[in-house]
Amino acid sequence: MEFPLEALRDTVAELGGILGGALHGTTPRTLSDTDLIDSLRLAEDLGRWADAARVALAGEVGRRSEAEARDDRITTRYGTRDAADLVERVTHVSTATARERLRTARAITPRTTLTGADRPAPLDRARAEFTAGHLSLDALTTIVGALRPLHGRCGTDELAAAELELVHAATGEPARDGGCDDEGAPPCSIHELRIMAQTWALFLDPDGTLPGETIERLRAFRLGRERNGLFPLRGNVTADVAAQLQRLLDAHTNPRSDDRGPRFTDPATNGPADSEASDDDIRDGRTADQKRHDAFAAILGAAASAVDAPRLGGAAPTLVVTVAEDQLHRPDGVAFVDGPDGPTPVPAAFARHIGCEGAIHRVVFDERGAIVRLTVHDRVFNRHQRRAITARDGGCIIPGCRVRAAWCEVHHVVEASRGGPTSVDNGVLLCWHHHRTIETSGWLIRMADGVPQVRPPTWVDPRRRWRPANRVLHTELERARARSA
């Protein structure tokens, strides 16, 4: 069949005009719910045909780039490095997208043998459903990613059976060809398809799909160079490490927390008032990524202070912060940490935050730079004090924060540098985020007869009244008694 290039040009131009007008401005807002869903489905069908054309044509570019003679390659003719470079330049997609199309196309592109005979595509059934518009590109790449590496490692019949089952699951056809009286299950989700594909791969080649030499060799973790005060993290972690980290992040960020925002209502009238917002009404303004960053910081702090943590220089891994005395209490003061690229400037507030629960080594230099005096001030709450504070507070004391005690740091209510003691009557639990921002967030903390109280910023309570902390034990008991009365 001759490729309908001219007809396709006309169709694209006509369709572009129709869609451009239909999607202009607020036109989609006038659709009824039913028409909106139908339009969404039709647009997806159109996208599937377009995806099929993109992959098929990219695959042909890839095939013509593999000619034995360099002068016969299409890449030589158009002056590009490789097939991905050519696809990228013509379509203006990213390099990653171009390579993904070529990788997918190799699994569904028929080949010609040295004798001139046609050879079916490695995943021919998936190719047929994809080019017919029945299989989405996401479903195709999921199937290809799971089965393509198994070619040459498993039997042809086994791979064909796996391909058939996965294609049927993705398109919603009956589970098997022939002899099936029911209509079959509806199409599965991509998440379900990915699990099914991984299961088939594990069943067909258990040795090749479990972590082996290749995966172990590719594992990596890299801390990049500082850029605008931030350090990028890059790498690949094995499935068990990823699962463990995800569990730790979930435990710390607590997906159950509700960011509905503050609501100031009168409990009696259920109307607006300047009354104090409940803990559940206090909004956490951090994004999900920022919460994960803060959780990661807390994980590092907990790991460094663990009893069985590896020692470094005879002591637990210790973050060293250097700050001049005249800079320490200045709002615009500067301190330095020993970063990956050497001393890195940080705000002096960071030094005050670190010093709140760590030991302070005060070093005095003479004019030549020689050390003339070393004084150590230990501000670390011991394990008995921490247990007592944990029993009292239960977690971060800032209302609305649900970080548990195990993830919290102990904060000096009255700074040790101003004479505050390292005692249970002067220590409260704060999560990494609230400890880091306690000077700038507007929250104030005080101790009243050994019990912490907090004063919210104006956006939480315009009258800024002192109130019990988030999880003071006796407060929870009083609430429980009131509810049961």
* SS3 annotation, the chain: CCCCHHHHHHHHHHHHHHHHHHCCCCHHHHCCHHHHHHHHHHHHHHHHHHHHHHHHHHHHHHHHCCCCCHHHCHHHHHCCCCHHHHHHHHHCCCHHHHHHHHHHHHHHCCEECCCCCEECCCCHHHHHHHHCCCCCHHHHHHHHHHHHHHECCECHHHHHHHHHHHHHHHHCCCCCCCCCCCCCCCCCCHHHHHHHHHHHHHHHCHHHHCCCHHHHHHCEEEECCCECCECCEEEECCHHHHHHHHHHHHHHHCCCCCCCCCCCECCCCCCECCCCCCHHHCCCCCCHHHHHHHHHHHHHHHHHHCCCCCCECCECCCCCEEECHHHHCCCCCEEEEEECCEEEEEEHHHHHHHHHCCCEEEEEECCCCCEEEEEEECCCCCHHHHHHHHHHHCECCCCCCCCEHHHCEEEECCCHHHCCCCCHHHEEEECHHHHHHCCCCCCEEEEECCEEEEECCCCCCCCCCCEECCCCHHHHHHHHHHHHC
pLDDT at 437: 82
pLDDT per position as a tens digit, 230-245? 888 888 877 667 767 7
Specify the pLDDT at position 267: 42
* Torsion angles phi and psi, residue 194, rounded to 5: -65, -40
In the block, tokens 């210790």 appear at 318
* pLDDT number for residue 61: 92
Give residue 163's pLDDT. Answer: 92
The predicted pLDDT at position 359 comes to 55
Band (pLDDT 50/70/90 cuts) for residue 167 is: very high
Least confidently predicted of 5-9, 259-263, 326-330, 335-339: 259-263
> In this predicted structure, what is the pLDDT of residue 55?
93
Residue 365: pLDDT band with limits 50, 70, 90 = low
Taking Cα atoms as reference points, which of 111, 147, 108, 112 lies closest to residue 131?
A: 108
pLDDT range class, residue 101, cuts 50, 70, 90: very high
312 and 305 Cβ atoms separated by less than 8 Å: no
pLDDT for 178 equals 46
Of the two residues 422 and 358, the one the predictor is more confident about is 422
The pTM of the whole model exceeds 0.75: no
Give the count of alpha carbons within 13 A of 248, CB side only.
Answer: 19
In angstroms, rounded to a whole number, what is the distance separating the alpha carbons of residues 112 and 382? 74
pLDDT of residue 88: 93
When pLDDT is cut at 50, 70 and 90, the band that residue 13 belongs to is confident
| Arithmetic mean of pLDDT over the chain | 76
- Residue range 437-477, pLDDT digits in tens: 888 888 999 998 888 999 988 878 888 888 888 766 555 56
- pLDDT, tens digit, for every residue of 242-281? 767 777 777 666 544 444 433 444 444 343 344 445 555 5
pLDDT at residue number 274: 43
Determine the average pLDDT of the residues in 405-416. 83
Tokens 């239909």 correspond to what residue? 22
| Residue with more model confidence, 392 or 21 | 392
How much is the average pLDDT of 180-192?
70
What pLDDT score does 307 carry? Answer: 52
Comparing 19-28, 331-340, 427-436, 471-480, the range with the smallest average pLDDT is 471-480
Is the pLDDT at 364 greater than 80? The verdict is no
Gap between the Cα atoms of 19 and 14, Å rounded = 9
* Higher-confidence position of 25 and 261: 25
Q: What is the pLDDT of residue 391?
A: 85
Q: What is the mean pLDDT of residues 307-317?
A: 51
Of 457 and 27, more confident? 457
Specify the higher pLDDT residue, 118 or 320: 118
- Highest average pLDDT, of 12-21, 131-140, 417-426, comes from 131-140
pLDDT of residue 445: 93
Does the pLDDT of residue 177 top 80, yes or no?
no
Residue 256 is predicted with a pLDDT of 46
**Across 81-95, 256-270, 336-350, 463-477, least confident range:** 256-270
pLDDT of 12 above 50:
yes
Residue 308 confidence (pLDDT) above 60: no
Is the model more confident about 5 or about 328? 5
What dihedral angle (degrees, nearest 10) is formed by the CA atoms of 176, 179, 183, 188?
Answer: -10
